[in-house]
């Protein structure tokens, strides 16, 4: 990709969200997008994307709590201070992410890629991946049509390699699928 033709990608990757305060001693409840969810606490520092900008923080303790985690951030020791950082995304630096095996991808790597279907031998541009959904059975690509695609539809395409997802080419910023464009 050339610098002039490519959107500059942020070095920060969202890995979770601080949702609410927990108790009176500065703890917060965190929704983690990592698997397993406790992995979010292995990253240091966390970058909080607040309405006032990005702020670096360190975790000094955490505990599992239901389907989330409760976390203590160094230097935040009361409920009112903790409330100030609620409803913000937690990000980490891209280079902190561990390398994956060949053929595995982080969701952030797939977001923004062009999706082309080769259904019945007819190449058609379906749009770009706007996000992914976790459904339990398999992840789902949410593909939104745009000015360069066959229509403006939003499509939900199961992320099932070798069945629906034929090829992912990060260099070409594209995903080839075998998906009926009528769906």
Sheet holding 154-158, edge to edge: 154-158, 139-144, 124-134, 114-117, 174-177, 165-169
pLDDT digits (tens, 9 = 90+) for 84-126: 999 999 999 989 988 889 889 988 899 999 999 999 888 999 9
In the three-class reduction of DSSP (H, G, I as helix; E, B as strand; rest coil), residue 83 is classed as: helix
Residue 9 confidence class, pLDDT cut points 50, 70, 90: low
pLDDT digits (tens, 9 = 90+) for 136-180: 889 999 999 999 999 999 999 999 998 999 999 999 999 999 999
> pTM, whole model, 2 decimals?
0.72
**Residue in 157, 177, 178 with CA at minimum distance from that of residue 169:** 177
**Does pLDDT of 5 surpass 70?**
no
**Residue in 117, 118, 181, 173 with CA at minimum distance from that of residue 154:** 181
CA–CA separation, 151 and 144 (whole Å): 9
């Amino acid at each position: 990709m050339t610098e002039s033709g490519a959107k500059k990608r942020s070095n920060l990757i969202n890995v979770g969200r601080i949702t609410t305060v927990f108790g009176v001693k500065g703890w917060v409840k965190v929704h983690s997008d990592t698997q397993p969810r406790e992995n979010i606490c292995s990253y240091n520092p966390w970058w909080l994307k607040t309405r006032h900008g990005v702020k670096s923080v360190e975790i000094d303790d955490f505990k599992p709590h239901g389907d989330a985690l409760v976390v203590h951030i160094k230097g935040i020791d009361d409920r009112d201070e903790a409330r100030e950082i609620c409803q913000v995304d937690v990000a980490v630096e891209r280079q902190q992410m561990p390398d994956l095996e060949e053929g595995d991808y982080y969701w952030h790597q797939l977001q923004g890629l062009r999706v082309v279907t080769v259904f019945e031998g007819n190449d058609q541009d379906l749009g770009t991946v706007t996000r992914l959904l976790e459904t339990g059975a398999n992840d789902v690509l949410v593909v939104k049509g745009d000015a360069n695609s066959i229509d403006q539809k939003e499509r939900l395409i199961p992320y099932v390699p070798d069945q629906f997802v034929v090829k992912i080419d990060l260099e070409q910023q594209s995903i080839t699928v075998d998906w009926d464009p009528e769906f």
